[in-house]
Structure 1
Amino acid sequence: MTAPGESAVVEVDAPVAAAGQAVIDVERVGVCGTDVEFFTGDMEYLHSGHAAFPLRLGHEWAGTVASVGAGVDADAWLGRRVTGDTMLGCGACRRCDRGDQHVCANRFEVGIRGGFAGALAEQLVVPVSSLHRLPDSVDATLGALVEPGGNALRAVRAAALSPGDRLLVLGPGTIGLLVALIARAHGAEVHLLGREPRSLDGARSLGFTGVWTDETLPDLPFDAVIDASNAPTLPARALELVEPAKRVVYIGLAGVPSLIDTRTLALKDVTAVGILSASPGLAGTIELYASGAVDPSPLVAATVGLGEVGAVLAGHRPHGAGDGPKLHVDPRR
């Protein structure tokens, strides 16, 4: 991408692994809402200075290790199927030392922040320390869903659900549906609230019966509410709907400031948790996919080549695409 709304497929030099790095042959990449925000020019990092054009997108990916740099055990990594962490901390600050590299003030984000080239290419170079091995039961489609799944898993963990607890998910997009699938696998009674008929039908197609609009939502006590939407009004709605002494989790981001009344938060004795990044949830997500406890593959509506990415970012759905919210890219096409 060279500017909002401007993108092209270009030839660049093949990446070379520096010390501690690996070159990945990319097999599959997910197109994310963050990528769309870059395309429209609305992404906050463009305005804060954390990102600038030109840039190469792509942070949900799966592939195979093609080469490694100095100091990397080639026998351990060459030919391995992998995915990787988006957040690359500096490795030297207090946050990185305590294992919170995903909130390092000086972090790179693959395909997003600091000019670190993303996975929408035939090859990607990343630190070996960011890689996660994929078992044979996790194919390229599932591998490229690990990163959004890690976000969803962290949101479910933050909700602190027990089997039989009732969860309401606001926003049945990719993250919301992953949250719902993971929470159901953990024994929760899952409900979803949305607006768009296609997304509501998609939730029902996954076997969820508690799928509602704001007008049809029943008056039920919810033990947790997870806001996975981009609507600025829904953070306050989540706080309104959750049971006292329970939890709200905020993982969705609106394009404008969203407000809650902290008096309501305190008077209801509610715990509110914010989630940024999949980093602490990647390994657990791979385990869920590998075991078959969660199968998110129906979320992928279509897979296209690099030449079609611009149209996808502009909102075009490929001919023959299914009803799922996620579109994937195979750079080898």
Structure 2
Amino acid sequence: MTAALSRAIVVDRPGAHRLVERELPPPGPGEVLVRVAAAGIYMSDRELYEGRRAPGYVRYPVVPGHEWSGTVEAVGAGVDPSLPGRPCVAEGFRSCGTCERCRYGETSLCTAGYAETGFTEPGAFADHVVVPARLLHPLPDGVDPRAAALLEPAAVVAAAVRAGRPRPGERIAVVGAGTLGLLAVQWLAASSPAELTVVDPRAERAVRALAFGATRALTPGEADGGTGHFDLVVETAGAPATAASSCLLARRGGRVVLTGMFTAGATGIDPVHLSVSQLEVRSVFGASSAAWADAVRALALGLLDPAPLVTHTFPLERFGEALALVGGGDPATGKVLLRP
């Protein structure tokens, strides 16, 4: 009997990838085998491909792909036998579940060591992916797989919203109108803010935020006049100056949540301003299990619809072409998906 085969994109080393065909990976005890429906490409995937990801956060050779949706195809020993056929997503961080931080529910801060699907473990730029069943989040039948593939960044936004605690009638700013920023606008619009402003130097991206629920869109230069104006500022850009500038946008006693991934050399936050203004500053790294549950619930209820963010879809065979679009600077490029 011929073994079933499954394709995957393997990045052997920075700058080198190949499409391989291999035996279908079986799920082990406590695992599920998922047929991938759609997988999003993010800037961190391009960093992985170009060798710009910190050594402790990638393990070559690797099958990338940490944003994805799919359908459970098979389960391993000890896993709920009713799961096959269910649409699903799964958390990327392979948290241990037993360390102190995990027991506090802070699974994105697991102290057992970094392990993440698509970076150190085989990911979803493939026909199939195997993940621990304890990380699985089943989805409603009939869910749009393109929208569900963006639940990973939506979970990061859910973590930011949890940290920011928006209240009805507040003045809120979102800095950055990329994937995270637009998802944040959608989510925060549901909190009934008095004002929801998006700040981004790319006029095309910022204007798009208006369709997602923002009340106005500003460039950073235009936003300077709003210094000290906002009750809550959610930073999503990760640009060199946006952590510091986001703190300047918040009113005295306001709240700032940093979700962008900053690189070495980013402008520091002025400690004098931080102290005198009595700001509350929180940062977000990934998403806890609770934030994932929030994102899945928001999608199921229709409070969140990431599908309009998708502008390009490619088969696995065109991975290189798809990757080149991400971060390429074309304002018409939104979210890029692979559809096995």
Q: Does the alignment reach a TM-score above 0.5? A: yes
Question: Quick one: distance in 2 between partners of 1:90 and 1:317?
Answer: 33
**Aligned residue type for 1:312:** A
Instruction: State the 1:68 CA deviation.
Output: 0.8
Instruction: State the 1:268 CA deviation.
Output: 0.7
TM-score between the two structures when normalised by the length of structure 1: 0.91
Q: Does 1:173 align with 2:173?
A: no
Q: Does the 8 Å contact 2:71/2:86 carry over to 1? A: yes
Structure 2 unmatched runs, 5+: 1-10
Instruction: State the 1:88 CA deviation.
Output: 1.1
Instruction: State the 1:122 CA deviation.
Output: 0.3
Question: Quick one: distance in 2 between partners of 1:324 and 1:134?
Answer: 27
Q: 1:322 to 1:296 in 2, by over 3 A?
A: farther
Match of 1:264 among 252, 264, 273: 273
Question: Quick one: distance in 2 between partners of 1:316 and 1:173?
Answer: 11
Q: 1:35 to 1:141 in 2, by over 3 A?
A: same
**Aligned residue type for 1:125:** V
Q: Does the 8 Å contact 1:224/1:246 carry over to 2? A: yes
**Aligned residue type for 2:251:** E
Q: 211-220 or 34-43, which moves further after superposition?
A: 211-220
**Aligned residue type for 1:166:** R
Q: Does 1:310 align with 2:311?
A: no
Instruction: State the 1:324 CA deviation.
Output: 5.6
Q: 1:213 to 1:142 in 2, by over 3 A?
A: same
Question: Quick one: distance in 2 between partners of 1:266 and 1:56?
Answer: 45
Instruction: State the 1:2 CA deviation.
Output: 2.0
Q: Equivalent residue of 1:303, what SS?
A: strand
Aligned to 1:325: 334
**Which segments of structure 1 move beyond 4 Å, counting only runs of 4 or more?**
none
Instruction: State the 1:297 CA deviation.
Output: 1.2
What do the CA deviations read for 1:143-197 (whole angstroms, capped 9, x no partner)?
1111111111221222221112111111100001101110001112211111123
Q: Does the 8 Å contact 2:185/2:212 carry over to 1? A: no
Question: Quick one: distance in 2 between partners of 1:296 and 1:84?
Answer: 17
**Aligned residue type for 2:257:** V
Q: Does 1:5 align with 2:5?
A: no
Q: Equivalent residue of 2:88, what SS?
A: strand
Question: Quick one: distance in 2 between partners of 1:234 and 1:257?
Answer: 12
Q: Does 1:74 align with 2:81?
A: yes
Aligned to 1:277: 286
Q: Does the 8 Å contact 2:314/2:339 carry over to 1? A: yes
Q: Does 1:36 align with 2:43?
A: no
Give the RMSD, CA atoms, in angstroms: 2.0
Q: 52-61 or 120-129, which moves further after superposition?
A: 52-61
Q: Equivalent residue of 1:99, what SS?
A: coil
**Aligned residue type for 1:74:** P
Aligned to 1:238: 246
Q: Does 1:136 align with 2:141?
A: yes
Structure 1 unmatched runs, 5+: none
Q: Equivalent residue of 2:204, what SS?
A: helix
Q: Does 1:103 align with 2:147?
A: no
Q: Equivalent residue of 1:176, what SS?
A: helix
Q: Does 1:63 align with 2:73?
A: no
Q: Equivalent residue of 1:215, what SS?
A: helix
Instruction: State the 1:99 CA deviation.
Output: 2.3
Aligned to 2:7: none
Q: Does 1:152 align with 2:157?
A: yes
Q: 1:316 to 1:170 in 2, by over 3 A?
A: closer
Match of 1:225 among 229, 233, 252: 233
Q: Does the 8 Å contact 2:42/2:326 carry over to 1? A: no
Match of 2:130 among 114, 125, 134: 125
Q: Does the 8 Å contact 1:22/1:65 carry over to 2? A: yes
**Aligned residue type for 2:101:** R
Q: Equivalent residue of 2:245, what SS?
A: helix
Question: Quick one: distance in 1 between partners of 2:81 and 2:309?
Answer: 35
Q: Percent identity at matched positions?
A: 33
Q: Equivalent residue of 1:247, what SS?
A: strand
Q: Does the 8 Å contact 2:166/2:232 carry over to 1? A: yes
Instruction: State the 1:312 CA deviation.
Output: 2.1
What do the CA deviations read for 1:82-140 (whole angstroms, capped 9, x no partner)?
1000111123322222222221132421112xx31001100000010000010125321
Q: Does the 8 Å contact 1:202/1:323 carry over to 2? A: no
Instruction: State the 1:263 CA deviation.
Output: 2.3
Q: Does the 8 Å contact 1:57/1:117 carry over to 2? A: yes
Q: Equivalent residue of 1:248, what SS?
A: strand
Instruction: State the 1:311 CA deviation.
Output: 1.9
TM-score between the two structures when normalised by the length of structure 2: 0.89
Instruction: State the 1:6 CA deviation.
Output: 2.1
